[in-house]
Chain A
């Protein structure tokens, strides 16, 4: 019954109540993919509203002696790659006749993107956010409010993205007949991981073309940060078939679901998760709220197992150093999430490197200043 599996990962490990909605979503998604009008609408929104294509920037002073190109999703409307997915799913939700949107958010970037598209299309919007993340990412909470979304704090468990996701799914179970769950990463039950990857793959497609234009060839390596993994899967998808291109995913050292996790089931999918030997999900720890998640998209677990992508980690301190260096050397303040990718990219044994700069760092200023 499950149509999108990644090896033994993926699936639909959800209460029965949601199965018909997932079937409906899957069918609506297949129909949309086959419909030129859907692609035309997405393209129009991308170019006239979101700000695509995003540029490629050579970070000469950040990494002297190398050519590190930054794929500038930080310049996308709302300041992160999350909008690619939110726009696509909002268009899909309208095709399915759903007028209410529920979402989870960690760093707040997905919540802001969702609130934005709901404002744009006149949809009701509820965003679940852990209270610890609301504290760390206060500006994004304010932004969601301005955009007309209702932010519901989650005050139990880790009070971060894990619990926010669980509460969003519980809301969806309760209101499934009227509501579309606009999941923010390539996680969750099928068909979400595949759907989100497809909507984010515009990053990799564009970057590949742009690199050919500026460098005349493929990069030696593509580096992206991995929390749930949507910006990484989006950029990697542009290069999966290019066997000579190294793909490197960078996790937060305290939230390395792929590096130090085990097979487990969380939020509707089998993947690699941080859990104890009994399958109880462990707490993740990262300075970056967007990476502070004990799970990861099932496709990443598959890509790890088949050896196509290497997954490494960066510590909070390494990310903070790269954050500061990019600001000083390039005049770009990155989000803390892609700062993890920057930290690994600059020491990579490669000359031509593409880095997914998934978002901008305005939201992180208070957290960064507090660390000084």
Chain B
């Protein structure tokens, strides 16, 4: 059974969208807490973040959305994904505590590589450029599973699955015992299937954010096509 991770930008609609994604077969929901200068994100998620900020989605309201989502999908791991500046402002200790008490399972901080702020427990990321030493270190430090950034670049849909993923999975298998979920550039059922043949799960962000604009029903339908592709592996 492969794991399906779906990313949604924090918005007032997020709880309903998260429930739809879970009904479509998502196992884990990432909730983006938007930041004004998201270095790891391509144009789609950057713009979704800008819109969320315009709607007032600062840290407090994002935590409320997290708590509301927790109520709607009580059994699904929820993982805020954000940037260091929000933690710096809210407090490096206070932020993880607030995430936990709002029902968050862990978190991802896109611009906090393994080794910076080790006291902040989080899902670590590794990339095709990571050395074996760093993959092993991130694997030791990670909280639950390891996020494999499948390509050298920012978030966003791509034509083909990154050819770098196979080598990254092969190295990470050797060095890390935690489950390996691949993300970045995975948007179609074909990508999902090909990535899941290598990794233990996949994460889909950009296309999910786009489809979510058409509402919960559209998102559920899209997620179920990914679920079907994973279940065929």
Contact = CB atoms under 8 A, between A and B. Distances in A.
A277 B126 CA distance: 31
B89 A264 contact: yes
Interface string A6-40: 00000111111111110000000000000000000
Contacts of B152: 17, 173-177
B53 A280 contact: yes
A265 B83 CA distance: 9
B125 interface: yes
Contacts of B60: 278
Nearest to B61: A278
A67 interface: no
A19 B153 contact: no
Given A2-B116, A20-B129, A265-B111, A15 B85 contact: no
Nearest to B43: A156
Interface in B122-143: 124-131, 134, 138
Instruction: Give the residue among B37, B38, B42, B149 with the most A Cβ atoms within 10 A.
Output: B37
A210 interface: no
Contacts of A265: 83-85, 88, 111
Given A13-B111, A266-B37, A278-B58, A174 B85 contact: no
Contact of A278 (B42, B86, B113): B86
Interface stretch (A105-113, A217-225, A267-275, A341-349): A267-275
A275 B58 CA distance: 12
Interface in B10-48: 35-40, 42, 46-47
A280 B115 contact: no
B138 A267 contact: no
Contacts of B42: 170
Contacts of B116: 1-2, 11-13
A179 B112 CA distance: 22
Contacts of A176: 129, 152
A58 interface: no
B76 interface: no
Chain A interface size band reads 35 or more
Interface string B90-128: 100000000000000000001111111000000011111
A17 B127 contact: yes
A263 interface: yes
Contact of B114 (A16, A157, A270, A280): A16
Contacts of A166: 37-39
A68 interface: no
A174 B38 CA distance: 14
A16 B36 contact: no
Contact of B131 (A20, A162, A177, A280): A20
A311 to B, nearest CB: 20
B9 to A, nearest CB: 15
Contacts of B89: 262, 264, 275-279
Contacts of A12: 113, 116
A279 B90 contact: yes
B156 to A, nearest CB: 10
Interface string B202-224: 00000000000000000000000
B59 interface: yes
A280 B36 contact: yes
Contact of A16 (B46, B84, B88, B126): B126
B68 interface: no
Contacts of A13: 84, 111-112, 116
A258 interface: no
A267 B37 contact: yes
B225 interface: no
Nearest to B128: A17
Interface of A: 1-2, 11-21, 156-157, 162-163, 166, 169-170, 173-177, 262-268, 270, 275-281
7 contacts: A15-B125, A16-B129, A16-B134, A157-B36, A173-B152, A176-B152, A177-B129
- The 8 lowest CB-CB distance pairs between A and B, nearest first, are A279-B89, A279-B85, A17-B127, A1-B115, A174-B153, A265-B84, A278-B58, A265-B85
